[in-house]
A and B are shown apart, each in its own frame.
Chain A
Amino acid sequence: MAEDLNTLSNDAFRLRWREWLHANFPAEWRIPIVHRLSGENERRWHRMTFAAGWRAPGWPKEFGGLGLDLEKQLIINQEMEAHCCARVLDSGAVLLAPVLMKYGTDEQKARYLSAILRGEDLWCQGYSEPNSGSDLASLRTSAVLEGEHFVINGQKIWTTLAAYADRIFVLVRTNKDVKKQAGISFILADMDTPGLTVRPIMNLAGEDELCEIFFDNVRVPAENLVGEIDQGWTVAKALLGDERIANGAPTLPRQSFEMLEQLVEGLGQIEDLGVADRAAVLLCDLHDLAALHSQVADAAIRGEIDNAVLGLMKVLATDLFQRVTDELLRVAGESAGLVEPVGVGGLDMDLRKLFMVARPSTIYAGANEVQRNIVSNMLMGPAAR
């Protein structure tokens, strides 16, 4: 089946994927925005898509992916959005695999890529530390080479879904005597290695997806190094440019705007001019963001990527997501103060969770303030210190 997908027209491809998705996506997972597949559910999804020939749309065929062009990859996302699918993180396929394909040894590729495809291995990304968030390059978790092993000591934090992961890819300091970016290495570790402990952190949305990870003399085979020693910063940046387009996608603001419209209708506020005026601002923001996103995606398909506009879109999309969820609470009146979901127009709407899920979007993947710093450097030149 993987053979013919690329030869299909985009419309035919869209229909093929939609048909399969609607027939196979479990109804209990059709919870947009607030729900994310994890653990056994995530494994099940990967196995389902693998068995049906839909796994790893962006991977080259030589590694077992579908080798789809960016347009068809975006179609897959669009259809999942339209079908109100729960989010899937898929750190192994999305975040790690591009790095392994570019810098991994043949042994690493053989050992890890196939297990990701089959849903056997779930991965987590060990980047942030308690004192290294937006300023990631200042990280201090250390790895010291002793014979055939790296010995890792330190702490990672905000590691998404670490409690369900089988393995972790982690950025560690292997050299303290050079510029901070130059002394970092990219290392793979099994989560059941002695000395490695995970502590989930309860967040404001009531989820324990984010975790702390403690490394206490964790011994990892030296062959788990990806790329050269001290070159981890460069290795980590091998993440496909295409993926960054997803950070600026209007998916979450659009889905929450649709909920806002249902809520406005359900509460009989459709004639309210204030509500309409505020909805008008959000509608135009959403329309224009979608226009920008699709035009930039088209440019990316032609091979023209502009880093400044990608950073801007992340800021715009996450800011809009928050403003829409703010408006949901405003329209909801006293219902905004309820812990349990609100029944509106036959819809159970978890307003509190929607509001809370929107909070970290302006913090993760480069806090919006950091994005503004980066973009301002591109637009106005670096600021003097």
Chain B
Amino acid sequence: MGWRVDNDLQQMLRDSARGYLGDVGGPSHARKVRAQPDGFDAAAWAQMGEQGWTGVLLPERLGGSDLGLEPALTLAEELGRSIAPEPFVSAAVIGASLLGAAHGDRAEALAGELAQGGRSVTLAWQEARGTLGFGNFATRLTNGRLTGTKLHVPAWHSGTGLLVAAASADGPVIAVVNPGTHGVMATAQRLTDGTFCADIVFEQVAVADDAIILSGDAARGALALAIARGTVVLSAQLEGLAGALWHMTSDYMKQRSQFGSRLSDFQALRHRMVDLYAEIELAAASWRAAATAVEAGDLSGVAVHAAKARCSQIAQDMGRWAIQYHGAFGYTDEADVGLFVHAALSWSSWLGNPAAHRRAAVVAHRNGKAGHG
């Protein structure tokens, strides 16, 4: 994956993404979604489905376009630039990775709806906040009954499809669960990007055999790949966000004057902007390296951790300096800067924040050295 170089397919996707998001995405769309009671714009999601974005990772047999990770990353960068609150990572990457590996009518039906943009899909897997990866789930599926508690389930809204990761006698399983089923109790909380996450208690929820779409090693492998892909794609989305905020801030500095000079003429501010730009270059290089690693099967090495750490950190840092350089105006809700800063807060903390990923990176590095030494 090369430095700022798109292949033909990526360039086509980027152009169409910029065209579409430029017209109907961006700050006004983000404001609209954060005002909606369930934080989800079904019409926007359907339009992304029509353009093939929601099925970008789904195999063709399930109605997807099976374009692979690189085009998904290009889209993510553009979605990040326009702070799109749509569940691209949770549904089109994590959800699609699981559905694409699964078999059976239930998975096919859900995948078909996802590919069309008729439905979004979310995965309930975390059982503590801020976890990286997964171990043995406390949530259990026993004799067709699901019991346990899942935290921070993203992209939660009334019409979402729900996948649940649980332990069973056959090892880990991924099950399709209808959120309306008796015994499912969800508590939704608004996230800073305008969407909702939910904590969900499952109490003796009936799960039919055909709802178990993955189990054992297949489930474990698909889950690891889905989360690693989600982490890298979210990193690209964060880098896109930071880049857009950098340009927005630079543009503002060129038109705002104080003490008889444009803000963009003050050397101290220019140097800070150069350093922030350098961090954005590092962030893009880092997620590209992580994507290459994930494609090669390295799902938990230094590369993935470094990428999420860097991209999360620069999104937060760029947000802080964007507010500072917009002055008091940057502190108002009217300024769009705040929308980016808010989106960065939830995106950078989801799937592991910078501190957690840096710590994981050094552990992976030391384990790798021990393994090769």
Contacts and interface: CB of A to CB of B under 8 A. Distances in A.
B303 interface: yes
B186 interface: no
Contacts of B275: 315, 372
A302 B3 CA distance: 11
A171 B2 CA distance: 38
A315 B306 contact: no
Interface stretch (B114-122, B163-171, B280-288): B280-288
B5 interface: yes
Interface string A290-312: 01100110110010101011001
A279 B359 CA distance: 9
Interface in B215-272: 250, 253-254, 261-262, 264-267, 270-271
B362 A379 contact: no
Contacts, number: 114
B12 to A, nearest CB: 20
A315 B279 CA distance: 11
Contact of B3 (A270, A289, A298, A369): A298
Given A304-B5, A379-B277, A380-B273, A284 B309 contact: yes
A379 B272 CA distance: 12
A306 B278 CA distance: 13
A304 B4 CA distance: 10
B280 to A, nearest CB: 10
Contact of A277 (B2, B5, B289, B358): B358
A270 B365 CA distance: 13
Contacts of B355: 277
Contacts of A281: 358
A283 B273 contact: no
Interface in A332-385: 369, 372-373, 375-376, 379-381, 383-384
A288 interface: yes
A373 B282 contact: no
Nearest to A293: B285
A377 B155 CA distance: 42
A16 interface: no
Classify the secondary structure of A's interface with B. Answer: helix
Interface residues of B, number: 41
B319 to A, nearest CB: 19
Contact of A291 (B5, B270, B271, B289): B289
Contacts of B289: 287-288, 291, 295
Given A280-B358, A292-B282, A379 B306 contact: no
B302 interface: yes
Interface in A236-292: 270, 276-277, 279-281, 283-285, 287-289, 291-292
Contacts of A316: 278, 282
Nearest to A282: B362
A312 B5 contact: no
A304 B277 CA distance: 19
Contact of A295 (B3, B267, B273, B277): B3
Interface in A308-322: 308-309, 312, 315-316
B14 interface: no
A359 to B, nearest CB: 20
B277 A312 contact: yes
A315 B278 contact: yes
B113 to A, nearest CB: 37
Given A295-B288, A376-B273, A379-B273, A284 B281 contact: no
B5 A372 contact: no
B277 A284 contact: no
B22 to A, nearest CB: 22
A280 B278 contact: no
B274 interface: yes
A295 B2 contact: yes
Contacts of A309: 3, 281
Contact of B362 (A283, A289, A292, A369): A283
B250 A380 contact: yes
A304 B275 CA distance: 22
Contacts of A277: 355, 358-359
Contacts of A279: 362
Interface residues of A, number: 36
Contact of B250 (A285, A287, A312, A379): A379
A312 B282 CA distance: 10
A369 B5 CA distance: 29
Contacts of B310: 284, 288
Contact of B254 (A276, A283, A380): A380
B323 interface: no
A32 B253 CA distance: 44
A11 to B, nearest CB: 17
A376 B270 contact: yes
Interface in B1-28: 1-5
A369 B268 CA distance: 10
A74 B306 CA distance: 24
B32 to A, nearest CB: 32
A315 B264 CA distance: 21
A384 B361 CA distance: 43
A302 B7 CA distance: 14
Contacts of A285: 282
B271 A299 contact: no
A375 B302 CA distance: 30
A284 B274 contact: no
Contact of A276 (B4, B277, B362): B362
B142 to A, nearest CB: 39
A287 B264 contact: no
A284 B358 contact: yes
Contact of B302 (A283, A373, A379): A283
Contacts of B271: 369, 372-373, 376
Contacts of B309: 284
B3 A296 contact: yes
B274 A379 contact: yes
A73 B4 CA distance: 23
B3 A384 contact: no
A57 to B, nearest CB: 23
Nearest to B301: A287
A270 B275 CA distance: 31
B173 to A, nearest CB: 34
Name the 8 nearest CB pairs between A and B, nearest first. Answer: A292-B285, A295-B3, A291-B289, A280-B362, A280-B358, A376-B270, A291-B285, A288-B286
Given A283-B306, A285-B282, 13 more contacts: A279-B362, A280-B362, A284-B361, A287-B302, A291-B289, A298-B3, A304-B3, A304-B5, A309-B3, A312-B278, A372-B270, A380-B270, A383-B267
6 contacts: A280-B359, A284-B309, A292-B3, A295-B2, A304-B3, A312-B278
